[in-house]
Amino acid sequence: MGKGLAKSNGGALSRSALRRQREREERYQTILNAAESLFVKEGYHQTSINKIADLAEVSVGTVYFYFKNKEDLLIQLLDGISYLFRSRVGAEFENADSTLEGFMNAGHMFFNEFCHKYPEKVAIMYRESIGQSPLVDEHRRKLHDNFIKDISGALRRMSENMGFSFPSSMSVEVIAVSIMGIYQSIASHYLVSRGKFQNLDQIGKDAVAYLVGGIKDMCGI
Amino acid sequence: MGKGLAKSNGGALSRSALRRQREREERYQTILNAAESLFVKEGYHQTSINKIADLAEVSVGTVYFYFKNKEDLLIQLLDGISYLFRSRVGAEFENADSTLEGFMNAGHMFFNEFCHKYPEKVAIMYRESIGQSPLVDEHRRKLHDNFIKDISGALRRMSENMGFSFPSSMSVEVIAVSIMGIYQSIASHYLVSRGKFQNLDQIGKDAVAYLVGGIKDMCGI
Amino acid sequence: MGKGLAKSNGGALSRSALRRQREREERYQTILNAAESLFVKEGYHQTSINKIADLAEVSVGTVYFYFKNKEDLLIQLLDGISYLFRSRVGAEFENADSTLEGFMNAGHMFFNEFCHKYPEKVAIMYRESIGQSPLVDEHRRKLHDNFIKDISGALRRMSENMGFSFPSSMSVEVIAVSIMGIYQSIASHYLVSRGKFQNLDQIGKDAVAYLVGGIKDMCGI
Amino acid sequence: MGKGLAKSNGGALSRSALRRQREREERYQTILNAAESLFVKEGYHQTSINKIADLAEVSVGTVYFYFKNKEDLLIQLLDGISYLFRSRVGAEFENADSTLEGFMNAGHMFFNEFCHKYPEKVAIMYRESIGQSPLVDEHRRKLHDNFIKDISGALRRMSENMGFSFPSSMSVEVIAVSIMGIYQSIASHYLVSRGKFQNLDQIGKDAVAYLVGGIKDMCGI
DNA sequence: TATGAATGAGAGTTCATTCAT
DNA sequence: CATGAATGAACTCTCATTCAT
């Protein structure tokens, strides 16, 4: 997205200006990628700006040209992940309306696609971005809350269409938070801290079965 | 516990020796308590040994007499929490054998007792101890794995006594990990990052209903 | 003045060349003005070239095209102020020859005109240019020394015309330095550090009365 | 004074505790002296904490153990100078009451004693502490204002005892500010920027004659 | 045992300056 | 001429850890 470099660009750009802009966005991504892999490999606090600059093959000053500070690096990373996560996983809840299928598709999407494709982003989401600073917390919470809204929406639509109601006014949110917790716990337990990729398909299936089971039981299907 | 100061103490102790030992253990706890509240309030990395010493009203040197280093403080804290958590919450799974009641009691114990009584320990468990260092991770995993064993045991005993079997060989563990995730997510969402104590009872009830529902559905009750 | 861009320009210039030269001088002044206001508002060291370029709406490179370096900006500023100060205030000593009137006119000129019109230049002269670098010091000294010569000249002419002599060979210079000090102290105290414009007229009058009084007493008028 | 290290010390101290305290105060002074001479020789901004630590033969950390930050170093210096200046020079105004003698003694004290003995402190007062930061400015202003009060007091007492009044309500303060300016200008011109010690006695005499002359003229003596 | 002054490596960050386009 | 991305040295400041007393 190149958030930090957004330039209102109403008119056309010359060829060289276009090239420079493309290079700028590449640099931005290169640095962000370097930060991502180092944060995951060594931990946020153990990663110095110097190391990031080295890996990205730029100078320290260049890192600070593209990012406000170290915290900003983590936040941009998190925001990018947030966008990706919701457009891949969260979107599944909307596609398959008013049935349990959405929950199964989303789970499949997360465990069998997202975790395989972006294990580092999962690690950022569920480990490196926790408890680092108030501002990071805020952005993390935003990601969290949005995803919870995705799930809650699906649950509400289901209950309306299928004509059943949840035990308490908070049930919907609580279930959504619980499902998010299942995602996190499974991913952290098997992927992040053990790097166990092999059975993730079966594990994902079991987890989805369990989390869907809870819904089924609650709505009396 | 005075773990770090374990002294083989076969014989009897004189009165003054007893007093000194008592004082040592008090000091140990005072320091640990200071560390706990600062870690929670300011974050592990933002808390310096000097601040801990100040709050505990001892010198920096004294902190290093009782604890190997800063990491050790977090580990001792985590181990203490681990012990407390398992003897309060994990134990519930064993008390009410072979029925779903254990899961409900444990949930109640966690949300309505533990979270209320030890919100700081919950914050250490679910926020401050994440992604700080390999050694801390190891101890955290131990706590995690033990609790998962507690849940898994209960699940297995249930399946044996009630004569049903889980879909896959991993199901039991996956469900256990999922339940742990629900605990963490609910506690983090409502308690740690929002400090919302008021509805925690209802929230806990809903969460337990959901997690138990998943089990019921799976074993066909 | 375009000092830094002095071009031997014996012949006539084409119309477009004239326009370009005019634009160059405008740019030069725009940058200098931006530097002046930022130096005064934020302090010399706290002002970066980037900020100056931003305010002047040019690029960093352009600043370096017109000025050798950051120090040069301050020096050009100081030299401009020096010229202005001497042609407005210093000149008054020459206009009203051989009487005390020159001292009064000059004081009036400084406190009631110069300080009101150019408070930022006063701040540069009496605050920002102090103790920044040897080269800046040198230019500052030049301004100082020239103004002292203006005053000394007036004093000497007075003593000759009115037939009295000063106690010691250094008296003239000492008085000149003292008068300069009075200007600086009054301007700094009321204008630079307090922004008190309101009573500056009365204050100026009192200050002039005092500094003229000293001369009167010394030459026995 | 050891301001930064003030410890309430009601009871008696053991011999070793006394020695440690003495050592602490010595260290504090050593660092402050190193800072003073470097600030004067190289300028505040050109002096790095590393250089100060080197000259004081301590580590960087030790500098930060005794002083909050670099700014604090300058402020402590300034406050010490303030105390010294007022107790040596400012006090003279009180000793010789209600005559012009106080002004002469104070001038003599400043030019012939203070400047000779503490040329570095003069440089800090009149050069290095100008325009460095709002906080430093504030402390500088305090020194300034207090000294102006010393002079104003003497002027007021004189006018009361000798039965004359000043032209305007601001005259007293304006004269005081002017005298401060004469001190500063003379000291800066001859001492700080030229290091000219030789004729300082005569220069001081002339300056005092001039500043006293202004008072005499104003009060009609 | 307890103290707290001392250490110094290492962190994040800034910014004057350059130079290819 | 103008641009602005890139540089990297240098800076201030922190803090876990040690050790003489």
Does the pLDDT of residue D78 top 90, yes or no? yes
Identify which of C171, D16, B151, B199 has the alpha carbon closest to the alpha carbon of residue A189: B151
Q: Which residue has the higher pLDDT, B55 or C8?
A: B55
Query: What percentage of chain C carries pLDDT values higher than 70?
Result: 90
pLDDT, tens digit, 9 for 90 and up, residues D98-113? 678 899 999 999 999 9
Considering just the CA atoms, what is the radius of gyration of chain C in Å? 20
Q: Which residue has the higher pLDDT, A105 or C197?
A: A105
C193 sits within 7 Å of strand E by its CB: no
Of D132, D193, D214, the CB nearest to C213: D214
pLDDT, tens digit, 9 for 90 and up, residues A57-69? 999 999 999 999 9
Q: Which residue has the higher pLDDT, C18 or A88?
A: A88
B64 sits within 7 Å of strand F by its CB: yes
Does the pLDDT of residue D142 top 90, yes or no? yes
Q: Which residue is nearest to nucleotide F2 (CA to C1')?
A: C62
User: Cα C10 to chain center, whole Å?
Assistant: 31
Does the pLDDT of residue B185 top 60, yes or no? yes
- pLDDT interval class at C165 (50, 70, 90): confident
Look up residue C218 and give its amino acid. Answer: M
Overall fold of domain C1-67: Arc Repressor Mutant, subunit A (1.10.10)
- For the packed helices D101-108 and D200-219, what is the interaxial angle rounded to 10 degrees? 160
For strand F, list residues 24-43 of chain A whose Cβ lies within 7 Å of it: 24, 27
Q: List Cβ neighbours of B142 (8 Å cut-off, separation of 6 or more).
A: B82
Write a three-state SS string for chain B: CCHHHCCCCCCCCCHHHHHHHHHHHHHHHHHHHHHHHHHHHHCCCCCCHHHHHHHHCCCHHHHHHHCCCHHHHHHHHHHHHHHHHHHHHHHHHHHCCCCCHHHHHHHHHHHHHHHHHCHHHHHHHHHHCCCCCHHHHHHHHHHHHHHHHHHHHHHHHHHHHHCCCCCCCCHHHHHHHHHHHHHHHHHHHHHHCCCCCCCHHHHHHHHHHHHHHHHHHHHCC
Paired tokens of B196: 């919302």
Q: Mean of the per-residue pLDDT values for chain C?
A: 89
Paired tokens of C183: 């200007």
Identify which of A130, A143, A173, A131 has the alpha carbon closest to the alpha carbon of residue A155: A173
Mean pLDDT, residues A132-143 taken together: 95
pLDDT, tens digit, 9 for 90 and up, residues B10-63? 556 677 888 888 889 999 999 999 999 999 999 999 999 999 999 999 999 999
Mean pLDDT, residues B132-149 taken together: 94
- Chain F nucleotides near the protein (CB, 7 A): 1-21
- pLDDT interval class at A210 (50, 70, 90): very high
Does the pLDDT of residue B218 top 60, yes or no? yes
* Domain spanning C70-219, CATH class: mainly alpha
Q: Mean of the per-residue pLDDT values for chain D?
A: 89
Q: Mean of the per-residue pLDDT values for chain B?
A: 89
What is the spatial distance between Cα B23 and Cα A76, in angstroms, rounded to a whole number? 50
Does the pLDDT of residue C187 top 60, yes or no? yes
Q: What is the pLDDT of residue B12?
A: 67
CA–C1' C82–E10 (A): 47
Annotate chain D with DSSP letters as a single string: --GGG-----S---HHHHHHHHHHHHHHHHHHHHHHHHHHHH-TTT--HHHHHHHHTS-HHHHHHH-SSHHHHHHHHHHHHHHHHIIIIIHHHHHSTTSTHHHHHHHHIIIIIIHHH-HHHHHIIIIITSSS-HHHHHHHHHHHHHHHHHHHHHHHHHHHHHT---SSTTHHHHHHHHHHHHHHHHIIIIIITT---TTHHHHHHHHHHHHHHHHHHHHT-
Q: Which of A26-30, B152-156, D91-95 has the lowest mean pLDDT?
A: D91-95
Identify which of B176, B144, B183, B181 has the alpha carbon closest to the alpha carbon of residue B159: B176
pLDDT, tens digit, 9 for 90 and up, residues D9-42? 445 667 788 888 899 999 999 999 999 999 999 9
- Cα–Cα distances in Å, from C100 out to B201, C31, C92, C93, C107? 90, 40, 11, 9, 11
Does the pLDDT of residue A182 top 50, yes or no? yes
Q: Mean of the per-residue pLDDT values for chain A?
A: 89
Q: Kindly report the number of other CB atoms within 10 A of residue B46's CB atom.
A: 13
Q: What is the pLDDT of residue D42?
A: 95
Paired tokens of C221: 């008028």
C70 sits within 7 Å of strand E by its CB: yes
Does the pLDDT of residue C194 top 90, yes or no? no
pLDDT, tens digit, 9 for 90 and up, residues A38-60? 999 999 999 999 999 999 999 99
Residue A52's nearest nucleotide, by CA–C1', is E12
**DSSP letter at C133?**
-
Does the pLDDT of residue A127 top 60, yes or no? yes
Does the pLDDT of residue A2 top 50, yes or no? no
C101 sits within 7 Å of strand E by its CB: no
Does the pLDDT of residue D59 top 70, yes or no? yes
pLDDT, tens digit, 9 for 90 and up, residues B66-110? 999 999 999 999 999 999 999 999 999 887 666 788 999 999 999
- For the packed helices C200-219 and C171-186, what is the interaxial angle rounded to 10 degrees? 170
Does the pLDDT of residue C97 top 70, yes or no? no
A66 sits within 7 Å of strand F by its CB: yes
Q: What is the pLDDT of residue C2?
A: 39
What is the spatial distance between Cα D18 and Cα D14, in angstroms, rounded to a whole number? 6
Q: Does C touch B (3+ CB pairs < 8 Å)?
A: no
C59 sits within 7 Å of strand F by its CB: yes
For strand F, list residues 136-155 of chain A whose Cβ lies within 7 Å of it: none
User: Cα A72 to chain center, whole Å?
Assistant: 17
Does the pLDDT of residue D218 top 90, yes or no? no
What is the spatial distance between Cα B124 and Cα B56, in angstroms, rounded to a whole number? 18
Q: Is A125 exposed, middle or buried (0-12, 13-18, 19+ CB in 10 A)?
A: buried
Question: What are the boundaries of each domain within chain C?
Answer: 1-67, 70-219
CA–C1' D159–F10 (A): 57
Interface of C with D (CB under 8 A): 43-45, 127-128, 130-133, 137, 141, 144, 167-168, 170-171, 174-175, 177-178, 180-186, 189-190, 193, 199, 202-203, 205-207, 209-211, 213-218
CB contact under 8 A, A168 and B206: yes
Q: A96-100, C160-164, D212-216: which has the highest mean pLDDT? A: D212-216
Backbone dihedral angles phi then psi of residue B149, each to the nearest 5 degrees: -65, -40
- pLDDT interval class at A164 (50, 70, 90): confident
- pLDDT interval class at A209 (50, 70, 90): very high
* Same fold: B1-67 with B70-219: no
